[in-house]
Structure 1
Amino acid sequence: MNRLVLWNVDLTLVDVAIVTRDAYAEAFRLVTGRPLVKLVPPHGRPDSEIVFETLAVNGIVAEDDHLPRFLSALATAFADRRGRLAKEGRMMAGAKDALKAVSRLDGVVQTVLTGTIRANAVHKLKAFGLDRYVDFSLGGYGEEVYPKATLLQVAQSRAKQRLGTPFTAANTVVIGDSTRDAQAARIGGAGMIGVASGRSMASELREAGADIVLPDLSSASEVVAAVTALTSRMDRAAH
């Protein structure tokens, strides 16, 4: 049985907010010629959405080329700062052990479902040695201008093309810390493990549709048990 596990990145696996803000400020300056005054909070949204709102709240009228230019500048600014990630950021408690433990489950492929653009998602996980457990070619990323639920379905389609297995709510799991992650899983068609380590409280994650809620990733065995429980539905359906 193939199983697709999609991890959110920020505040689920790592916290690199300081470096991210600095990279945004640099990208904003390069694209607009003005200093960044206000960066809108992410709230689990994709970079593409954050860019448009940040331009608006800083009084910039978005033009057709603003988004591609901004995302390109953001990738460069973030890459220039990648040496600061491990020093000024942190890996969330239990993240490495959880990724490693889930990777040992039969048929599991792990990737990311993140609002971060792909290049920056790679840098974020690589800084903490987490990239070895993730197939970045199968994920959904912030430069793809879709809602997160659609990004989930894009990732499922990529995995189907690679593995030949249809991915549905019975064999796909999203692991994330925000209500947006939970809503994307419910709408897009996946089981959802909420991790109350970031933007949303456990009660909010449950209300948004999380099937299982964990306080954090510190118990790898609990994460494995949750993934197993949510993907065993396919086995039950087959009997």
Structure 2
Amino acid sequence: MSRLVLWNVDLTLVDVSILTREAYADAFRQVTGRPLVKLTQHNGRPDSEIIFETLAINDIVAEDAHLPRFLDALAEAFAARRGRLAREGRMMRGAAETLRAVGGLGGTVQSVLTGTIRSNAVHKLKAFKLDRYVDFEVGGYGEEVYPKATLLQVAQGRARQKYGAAFDGTNTVLIGDSARDVQAAKIAGASMVAVATGRSLPAELREAGADVVLPDLSDPSAVVAAVESLTTPVHSA
């Protein structure tokens, strides 16, 4: 039996926003030779999109080489700060307990669907010992230039290839904190459990179409019940 649970990272499982802003500033200076003046809001968007918008609002004309250079610089800048993540960031309330509880559902594969680039997503979860609960190989990440809904389907394909099971809208759940996460799940045909731990209000999450809206992850049993009610696990191929 198999079901796929994909987790957003930032403001759903962890909050390391201060260090993320520092890393963006370092990467911007390295790539452009100028100080970062303005950084656009993340709000559930992928790093690839944030990078181009950040260049634009700082009056930098984007070129083809900017994205790969910025991604490399961002990975380097964030890795340099990985020792500070647990001290200066925080794990969201109930994150570890909920990941463990959802992972205890029979045949459940957990991974991430995040706007963060893969290396940084790994650093963020490792800092709080959350990496043990997720399979990073089948996730979707911010360096991949796809809309988030398409990235969800890419993650399903990766999970299908690795685990030999058909992952589709009947057995896939996205758990995240933003209205953009909800929209991505709906477009991709997956179920959505939204937690109001980010910048989107509960009413916004409901209006966007979330199947279940919870205040946070402090009640693992509520998340488990939601995942169970929204999925129909299937037998491996």
Amino acid in structure 2 at the alignment position of 1:145 = V
Amino acid in structure 2 at the alignment position of 1:208 = A
| Distance in structure 2 (CA, Å) of the matches to 1:162 and 1:31 | 36
Q: Does 1:39 align with 2:70?
A: no
Task: Return the TM-score normalized by structure 2.
Answer: 0.97
Task: Return the TM-score normalized by structure 1.
Answer: 0.97
- 1:111 aligns with 111
- 1:93 aligns with 93
- 1:64 aligns with 64
Residues 182-237 of structure 1: CA deviation (Å, up to 9, x unaligned): 000000121100001112111111111110010000001101101111114x68xx
Amino acid in structure 1 at the alignment position of 2:21 = R
| Distance in structure 2 (CA, Å) of the matches to 1:189 and 1:149 | 9
**2:149 is paired with a residue of what secondary structure?**
helix
**2:36 is paired with a residue of what secondary structure?**
coil
**1:151 is paired with a residue of what secondary structure?**
helix
| Distance in structure 1 (CA, Å) of the matches to 2:81 and 2:189 | 36
Contact 1:153 1:189 in 2 (8 A): no
| Distance in structure 1 (CA, Å) of the matches to 2:156 and 2:48 | 21
Residues 137-180 of structure 1: CA deviation (Å, up to 9, x unaligned): 00000000001000000000000111111111110000000001
| Distance in structure 1 (CA, Å) of the matches to 2:205 and 2:168 | 21
- 2:193 aligns with 193
Amino acid in structure 2 at the alignment position of 1:229 = S
**1:157 is paired with a residue of what secondary structure?**
helix
- 1:205 aligns with 205
- 2:162 aligns with 162
Tell me the number of residue pairs that the alignment of Structure 1 and Structure 2 aligns: 234
- 2:145 aligns with 145
**1:225 is paired with a residue of what secondary structure?**
helix
Q: Unmatched 5+ residue regions in structure 2?
A: none
| Distance in structure 2 (CA, Å) of the matches to 1:40 and 1:191 | 29
Equivalent runs, 1:68-79 vs 2, <5 Å: 68-79=68-79
- 2:19 aligns with 19
| Distance in structure 1 (CA, Å) of the matches to 2:26 and 2:197 | 28
| Distance in structure 1 (CA, Å) of the matches to 2:159 and 2:189 | 14
User: What RMSD in Å do the two structures reach over aligned CA positions?
Assistant: 0.8
Amino acid in structure 1 at the alignment position of 2:138 = L
| Runs of 4+ with deviation above 3 angstroms | none
| Distance in structure 2 (CA, Å) of the matches to 1:2 and 1:54 | 40
